[in-house]
Structure 1
Amino acid sequence: MNESVHHPHLQRQGILLVIQPRTAVIMLRAASRVNVAAVGSIYVPANRTGHLIHGLAVFRSRQSRVANHHLPPRIHESGPRATVRPLLLALRWRDHRCFFLKRPYDRTSGAASTKHPSLSQFRLQRCPFYLVRLLRFPRTRDSIQPLMAKLSSFVSRLSRSFLLLLFALFLPSVWQSAAQAVNSAPAAVLAPRLPAPSGNYGIGRAGFDWTDAKRHDRLDPEHPRELMVYLWYPTTPPHAEAKGVYLPGAKQMNANPEIQSRMRDEFGANWPLIVSGDIYSHAVEHAPLADAEAQWPLVIFSHGNGSTSFAYTWLIEDLVSHGYVVAAIQHTGTAIAVQFPDGRLVPHRELPMPANTSPAERMQKQIESISAGISEGADDVRFVLDHVTELSKTGDQQFPLKGKIDSSRVAAMGHSAGAEFSARACQLDKRLKACVDLDGAMVPFAALPIYPDHPSMNQPLLFLEAYHPESQMGGSHTQHEDFLKVKQKQLQECFPGSYDVIIKTPGIAHPSFSDIPVIFNGEDGYPAPELVSHNILLIEKFVRAFLDKNLKNAHNSHAFDSSTPEAEITPYGAAVPQ
């Protein structure tokens, strides 16, 4: 609401009374060559979001005040020769208050313009008029020295009080913000940590570039099949936690736009932490092999489609720390990317689908491609077994495992598509004494690979899977029922000593057998770290118990005795073959 007061007594005395809003910006205009007789009405838009007095009318006579009772949002001057000098000041009041200005201005003494009508001491709200008086009446400056001294003292006290007030108001919030910044800073830069290996041995690692001259690459027929194989092996326990490279060649892969994009899809926002080394393994490159055992059992590991063996570091390291050698294959073309010693980078590849292919033809070609891929992966496993066995017997002294591999104690293990590589290799090769299939079921078709030769498993199988509700499994309800029948038949035909274990803990899923939930660290829909850690312990328990039983002849584990709310266990067969 706009307000200006025209009390007759106040107007006769030349007094202006303005009811100020909480916040106002007042534009004062002091007449230069005009003898101010009276001050008229003021236009005050009372806007709570920002109050602005647009104008102050200056008149030459009292009679003009009525005609200018309501002013527009611009300043009016009375008289053609009127000139003004502006002074803009911002004043703030907590409440509506009255401000008084007495006239006439006395050019000789200026007393009326420098004193409050009822109070003679300094007042903050009169600062604009003190300044106006000093600018307009320079001859009277000496007469207000006491007032200036009071002003100086007041400003000094006000400054100190203002600073103390600011200190009192903002110190708690500043302190709290600083404390929060200190507490949150480590969390903001702390990279996910892989679980420390639980065994007594340290971790050594060495990479090898091996070529199978007897085979051509399925996706690159002009070249023989070439693989990078990393041997992880037990070493003397380190004095402190080792920090090794998580993914060899990560910097080179990051420099390739295509591969970098794939890596970001696989590892999420923490891919740069892998490149920088903030996410690390516990492996020491080319460390000396521990001499606690004359020979060590071997596990050949295969990763999933579009993944990498390094994405299973916690699983591999835990086995190694308990006295296993793990030969982790980088399946060229199946892996997300493979770096060879000469600097070549081979990304994930797939056979192109011909154009104008019908849905039925597309499905048939996909099945054929999957079958061919499983066969190639199984041949990779068998080739690595051949090569490690040969190097262990006849290799030079630079091979760290010369004479240290017990070829009678070898298992194949894989996850997802790699589980099918391992299972197919075990169907074909009796040298493999145990098979670990990690969530490798091919829903809605079969649990294990099906080929025209109708092979069965030649060794005990651990079919370790995450519980998947039917709504999250491929195919229709009828297809799902048919799949369960095929799965049951295949497992019943497995070698005695086999187990189907379904983990049913919160957060368990297909990626739970890899590092991915650890690296995502509870982000992007992955389980909380405590759930991930619990599931890792369960997976490690079942894998180690099964391998210890079949490769180390250890029978002291009770992991498979009976089902629990966390794991449904179904045994197949009653005895392990001697």
Structure 2
Amino acid sequence: MRTRHRATAAALLVLALGATAVPPALASPRPAPSTPVADVPAPRLRLPAPSGPYAVGEDTLHLRDTGRADPYVPEAGARELLVSVFYPARAGTGARAPYMSTEEAELLLESRGLGGVAAPGAVAATETYARTGAAPARGRFPLVVLSPGFGQSRFTLTSLAADLASRGYVVAAVDHAHESVATVFPGGRVLPCAACAYVERVGDAGLAEVARGRAEDVSFLLDRLTGHHPAWRHAPMIDRGSIGMAGHSIGGDCAASTMAADRRVRAGVNMDGTFYDPVPAAGLKGRPFLMLGTEADHASGGTFDTTWDRDWKRLDGWKRWLTVAGAGHFTFTDLPLLGAELGIADPSAPLPAGRSGDITRDYVAAFFDLHLKGVPQRLLAGPTPGNPEVTFQAPAR
């Protein structure tokens, strides 16, 4: 069974952000070691522009679950979440939102051995097309929760979040305390990845605990977004009866774990995540689920990640298993997009970054359009000429 989140994560981040570890044939020119990064013009990085009809607003929420101690650092007290809420907004309102803070970008670069090589300001200033303080669009919209890969921050799912918001969704991208390496909490606190150290000690059983713990986080988040006294100022724009969830890697496993524990989540997506916490043998009570992954999830002559075959059989509602040719584990995040902006490619994932982004955004949006909005989707009925990379798998039930 595959463990995808460890060395692979570090390697892809190195490639995407232009580390010295990039093979010479792939590396773009950079200054000699004696030349400070600050003296070299930083590239202006951009994520793809959202494709929907709405402008995109963004707010940040800091939530504390006083009914539950942090599972990895109990002495820290209440479990904490940082949430970026993207929402359909009125055009021409608000101010440009940063991708992340400069401090978070610096922490990210330092954690990958890139301190002094890439400019934190350039990464932090990546154009996301979201606006802080933007006036909300009129109407009520489905809610989609996004959970990132293990050790990663919510920022790695920004392109998907902004695109869904532009198409008419409220999107809550979550950072789970002590589970990422580059998140700054209120007061300037940088919480260590205590969960990373825990998983290194106990192995895959610890990752199953991570998925179940995140499911508790998401249920708490839904309480705070849709309850009687919501934490978000624009909460009335959420359609409480139309809630979905998607995640990358362990976040995708968490989508299934959350659905198993919380009936409010009507539809889920796993983007290339091993099911460390298995789908219950009784299924998900008929609710739809999309598995979007790499060719390694369904390798010729046998399945590399055996949990996908196992849990595919347990899914008891509408379901699709889509394989993307040329994709790597991080294809479904922002990292290939940032790498392309820097002129750097990942040789282990030959799918062009633009196609990576298009496929991820279009298929995830089609899934939620079908199951949260009730709009038929040709894209999910079978192969389409415009997406030759996508194969519909049909393993035996």
Fold conserved between structures, TM > 0.5: yes
Aligned to 1:467: 295
1:232-253 Cα offsets, whole Å, 9 max, x none, are 111012389x742011x32366
Residue aligned with 1:400, SS: coil
Residue aligned with 1:269, SS: coil
Please tell me whether the aligned partners of residues 193 and 280 of structure 1 are also in contact (alpha carbons under 8 angstroms). Answer: yes
Closer, same or farther: CA 342–455 of 1 in aligned 2, 3 Å: farther
Aligned to 2:332: 513
Larger Cα Rg: Structure 1 or Structure 2?
1
Cα distance in structure 2, aligned partners of 1:534 and 1:421: 26
Aligned to 1:543: 364
Closer, same or farther: CA 338–528 of 1 in aligned 2, 3 Å: closer
Aligned to 2:312: 491
**Is 2:99 the counterpart of 1:237?**
no
Please tell me whether the aligned partners of residues 211 and 253 of structure 2 are also in contact (alpha carbons under 8 angstroms). Answer: yes
Residue aligned with 1:225, SS: strand
Aligned to 2:182: 337
Residue identity opposite 2:241 in structure 1: S
**Is 2:141 the counterpart of 1:308?**
no
**Is 2:263 the counterpart of 1:433?**
no
Cα distance in structure 2, aligned partners of 1:351 and 1:418: 14
- Equivalences for 1:403-418 in 2 at 5 Å? 403-418=236-251
Aligned to 1:205: 58
Residue identity opposite 1:250 in structure 2: T
Please tell me whether the aligned partners of residues 270 and 520 of structure 1 are also in contact (alpha carbons under 8 angstroms). Answer: no
Closer, same or farther: CA 337–363 of 1 in aligned 2, 3 Å: closer
Aligned to 1:348: 193
Please tell me whether the aligned partners of residues 215 and 225 of structure 1 are also in contact (alpha carbons under 8 angstroms). Answer: yes
**Is 2:284 the counterpart of 1:457?**
yes
Please tell me whether the aligned partners of residues 104 and 183 of structure 2 are also in contact (alpha carbons under 8 angstroms). Answer: no
Cα distance in structure 2, aligned partners of 1:379 and 1:427: 11
Residue aligned with 2:57, SS: strand
Closer, same or farther: CA 352–461 of 1 in aligned 2, 3 Å: closer
Closer, same or farther: CA 423–192 of 1 in aligned 2, 3 Å: same
Closer, same or farther: CA 415–363 of 1 in aligned 2, 3 Å: closer
Cα distance in structure 2, aligned partners of 1:481 and 1:400: 46
In the alignment of these two chains, the number of paired residues is 350
**Is 2:324 the counterpart of 1:503?**
yes
Closer, same or farther: CA 570–388 of 1 in aligned 2, 3 Å: same
Gaps of 5+ in 1: 1-186, 354-361, 574-578
Aligned to 2:78: 224
Residue identity opposite 1:290 in structure 2: A
Residue aligned with 1:317, SS: helix
Please tell me the root mean square deviation across aligned C-alpha atoms, in Å: 3.3
Aligned to 2:383: 563
Cα distance in structure 2, aligned partners of 1:198 and 1:253: 26
- How far 1:342 sits from its partner (Å)? 1.9
Aligned to 2:136: 289
- Equivalences for 1:42-441 in 2 at 5 Å? 189-222=42-75, 223-238=77-92, 243-247=96-100, 249-251=101-103, 254=106, 260-262=109-111, 269=118, 271-275=120-124, 277=125, 279-291=126-138, 293=139, 295-350=140-195, 352=197, 365-390=202-227, 393-395=228-230, 399-440=232-273
- How far 1:192 sits from its partner (Å)? 2.9
Please tell me whether the aligned partners of residues 264 and 271 of structure 1 are also in contact (alpha carbons under 8 angstroms). Answer: no
Cα distance in structure 2, aligned partners of 1:260 and 1:563: 39
Please tell me whether the aligned partners of residues 381 and 421 of structure 1 are also in contact (alpha carbons under 8 angstroms). Answer: no
Residue aligned with 1:233, SS: strand
Percent identical residues = 26
Cα distance in structure 1, aligned partners of 2:72 and 2:297: 35
Aligned to 1:169: none
Please tell me whether the aligned partners of residues 517 and 526 of structure 1 are also in contact (alpha carbons under 8 angstroms). Answer: no
Cα distance in structure 1, aligned partners of 2:78 and 2:185: 14
Please tell me whether the aligned partners of residues 298 and 323 of structure 2 are also in contact (alpha carbons under 8 angstroms). Answer: no
- In structure 2, which of residues 333, 344, 358 is the aligned counterpart of residue 523 of structure 1? 344
Cα distance in structure 1, aligned partners of 2:244 and 2:379: 19
Residue identity opposite 1:562 in structure 2: G
- How far 1:213 sits from its partner (Å)? 1.1
Cα distance in structure 1, aligned partners of 2:392 and 2:119: 36
- What TM-score do you get using the length of structure 2 for normalisation? 0.78
1:108-156 Cα offsets, whole Å, 9 max, x none, are xxxxxxxxxxxxxxxxxxxxxxxxxxxxxxxxxxxxxxxxxxxxxxxxx
